[in-house]
Amino acid sequence: MSPQGGIRGGLYSSLFTLHPSLDNHVRAVYSPFTVEEINGKIVEMLRPDGMQAPVELVFQGIDGLHRACPHYLGDWYFTGRYPTPGGVRLCNGAFVEYVENVLSNRL
């Protein structure tokens, strides 16, 4: 997974020019990547330095969640499709906090 500074930078800017309660702009960070690429990056981030054992991320996908719980509409936490403007605002705000307080300290 390559650094996506352009996406992050453009997304960060869009959060101040677009109405943040209309869309979850953070989904754009993940859209260029496949599930396998995201899983690989998560494993890379979680694997302790020097660990030689293979690590595999195993989880229930969204399609499987929908089959297992067909009448439950609470997949928003996993899909980023928040049902309320407040949820979207919190997600977008968390991304701004990440950029300003975590990512900027790594650069």
What is the reported pLDDT for 83?
84
Residue showing tokens 């049902």: 83
Q: For residues 98 and 105, give the distance between their C-alpha atoms in angstroms, rounded to a whole number.
A: 10
pTM > 0.75: no
Q: What would the pLDDT profile of 2-50 be if each residue is shown by its tens digit?
A: 334 555 556 666 665 555 557 787 888 888 999 889 889 999 989 999 9
* 91 neighbors 82 (Cβ within 8 angstroms): yes
What is the reported pLDDT for 51?
92
Q: What would the pLDDT profile of 57-72 be if each residue is shown by its tens digit?
A: 888 888 898 999 988 8
Confidence tier at 104 by pLDDT (50, 70, 90)? low
Q: For residues 53 and 67, give the distance between their C-alpha atoms in angstroms, rounded to a whole number.
A: 33
The residues near 78 (Cβ < 8 Å, ≥ 6 apart) are 62, 65
